[in-house]
Amino acid sequence: MRGLGIGCLLLALAACAGLSQPPPTSREALRGLATSAAQGLLASPPWSPDRTASTTILMRPAEVDEALPISAAALNEALGRALLSREDSPHVLDWVPNSPRGAMEDQWLLQARLSADAPPLRLSDRTLQPYTLQFDLSRPSDPASHWQWQASGALDLDALPAKSEASP
């Protein structure tokens, strides 16, 4: 009976130890932001859904607010990976030609902007930074085309690297 009691106690302690998860890494925090952005973008894209397989997104360098410890390159990489990981993904290139001449109709230029619109929220165990992520999509072959998508949320600043660590 004593062995059963010790076994139950050890099992309960092991279960409690499994409940505490380590804080997310910077890659996981950025991946979550990018994944939800990719889902939002591809939920109602500006192109016809039957054209997704032939669509190419050319990603311009992202614009990131100075208050955020995220580099433009890290945001572009996360967004590119999130878009490409979807089953219904268009082609994605983290590159834009110097001249849009000769661009095809199925090419879209993506400009991502990540801004910190409010002061950080300090909680007892973490600091959250409200953000707005905006996508501007346009076709180089049609300067009049313009489409925007926007999302807001909060990033866990404690899960992101310090500004000096975030720069490549």
pLDDT attached to residue 61 = 94
- C-alpha span between 76 and 165 (Å, rounded): 17
pLDDT attached to residue 38 = 92
Please indicate, yes or no, if residue 57 is contained in any of the structural domains.
yes
Q: Is 50 helix (H, G, I), strand (E, B) or coil?
A: helix
Which residues have CB under 8 Å from 47's CB, separation 6+?
Answer: 55, 90, 106, 108
Please indicate, yes or no, if residue 13 is contained in any of the structural domains.
no
Which residues have CB under 8 Å from 138's CB, separation 6+?
Answer: 108, 109, 145, 146, 147
* CATH number of the domain within which 67 lies: 3.40.50
Please indicate, yes or no, if residue 17 is contained in any of the structural domains.
no
Task: Give residue 104's identity as a one-letter amino acid code.
Answer: M
Write down the mean pLDDT value for the chain: 81
Q: Is 63 helix (H, G, I), strand (E, B) or coil?
A: strand
Residues 124-159 have pLDDT tens digits of 888 899 999 999 999 887 878 889 999 999 888 877
Q: Give strand pairing partners of 132.
A: 115, 152
pLDDT over 90 for what percent of the chain? 43
Please indicate, yes or no, if residue 75 is contained in any of the structural domains.
yes
pLDDT for 16 beyond 60: no
Q: Which residue has the higher pLDDT, 140 or 34?
A: 34
pLDDT attached to residue 167 = 46
pLDDT attached to residue 62 = 95
pLDDT attached to residue 166 = 46
Please indicate, yes or no, if residue 73 is contained in any of the structural domains.
yes
Range of the domain at 160: 23-166
Residue in the block written with tokens 């669509």 = 55
Q: Which of the listed ranges 4-18, 27-41, 88-102, 118-132 does the model predict with the highest average pLDDT?
A: 118-132
21 neighbors 38 (Cβ within 8 angstroms): no
Q: Give strand pairing partners of 2.
A: none
In 3D, which of 33, 79, 84 has the Cα closest to residue 56? Answer: 84
Between helix 26-43 and helix 72-84 the angle, nearest 10°, is 50
Residues 105-127 have pLDDT tens digits of 789 999 999 999 899 999 988 88
Does the reported pTM lie above 0.85? Answer: no
Q: Give strand pairing partners of 91.
A: 56
Q: Give strand pairing partners of 112.
A: 135
- Structurally, the chain folds into a number of domains equal to 1
pLDDT attached to residue 83 = 94
User: Which of the 8 DSSP states describes residue 158?
Assistant: G
